[in-house]
């Protein structure tokens, strides 16, 4: 387990100043594109292994959140009184491929494809799955190796699960 990622996620959650009732993981992507399945894979793993009544997971392999239903799903949750952690795939520099980026700011899903979708999250977790460049984004994501997506999804889910399985975070994370 990557203790640095656990520490980064804990620090991001601790830095949130708004009061919240629950933590909601909003996992974005589709299983119709290998690279874009990162979010639904993370959501699927969390849904199966994270058993905490104060945590909800949206976006799984069976019920993905993608461009066509993102706004509808976002409108169905209480974003003002819950901590929203958005999870999505992205492209980046070659040296960043295979890394996870955690930030205390919303993400802009679909921005690589010039889609006009709402920003999502109080915290964002991005899995960098391929390099950006002159290829079309869709082509890059469809040609991303499944092994990279699976390994990064597993690392992300295990990081989240490890953090919330620690006794001191189970109750202390909620304001």
CATH of the domain at 155: 3.40.50.1450
Asked if residue 121 is part of any domain, the answer here is yes
Q: Which pair of structure tokens corresponds to residue 164?
A: 């919330």
Asked if residue 174 is part of any domain, the answer here is no
Backbone angles phi and psi of 44, in degrees to 5: -60, -45
Asked if residue 173 is part of any domain, the answer here is no
Percentage of residues in the chain having pLDDT higher than 70: 85
Asked if residue 84 is part of any domain, the answer here is yes
Residue 111 is predicted with a pLDDT of 66
Asked if residue 175 is part of any domain, the answer here is no
Q: Which pair of structure tokens corresponds to residue 53?
A: 């009544």
Q: What is the pLDDT of residues 28-52, one digit of tens each?
A: 998 888 878 999 999 999 999 988 8
Asked if residue 103 is part of any domain, the answer here is yes
Asked if residue 110 is part of any domain, the answer here is yes
Q: Does the structure show a pLDDT above 50 at 156?
A: yes
Is this model's pTM higher than 0.95 or not? no
CA distances from residue 116 to 9, 14, 123 in whole angstroms, order as listed: 28, 30, 20
* Token pair 């189970």 in the structure block, residue: 170
Number of domains making up the chain? 1
Range of the domain at 107: 3-167
């Amino acid at each position: 387990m990557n203790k640095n990622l656990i520490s980064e996620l804990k620090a991001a959650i601790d830095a949130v100043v708004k009061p919240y009732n629950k933590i909601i993981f909003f996992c974005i992507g589709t299983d119709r594109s290998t690279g874009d399945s990162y979010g639904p894979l993370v959501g699927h793993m969390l849904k199966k292994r994270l058993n905490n009544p104060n945590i909800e997971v949206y976006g799984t392999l069976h019920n993905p959140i993608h461009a066509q239903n993102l706004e509808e799903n976002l409108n169905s949750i209480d974003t003002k009184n819950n901590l929203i952690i958005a999870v999505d795939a992205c492209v980046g520099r070659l040296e960043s491929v295979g890394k996870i980026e955690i930030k205390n700011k919303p993400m802009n899903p679909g921005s690589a494809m010039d889609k006009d979708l709402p920003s999502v999250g109080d915290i964002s977790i991005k899995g960098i799955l391929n390099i950006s460049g002159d290829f079309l984004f869709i082509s890059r994501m469809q040609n991303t190796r499944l092994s990279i997506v699976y390994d990064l999804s597993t690392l992300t889910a295990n990081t989240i699960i490890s953090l919330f399985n620690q006794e001191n975070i189970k109750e202390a994370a909620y304001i």
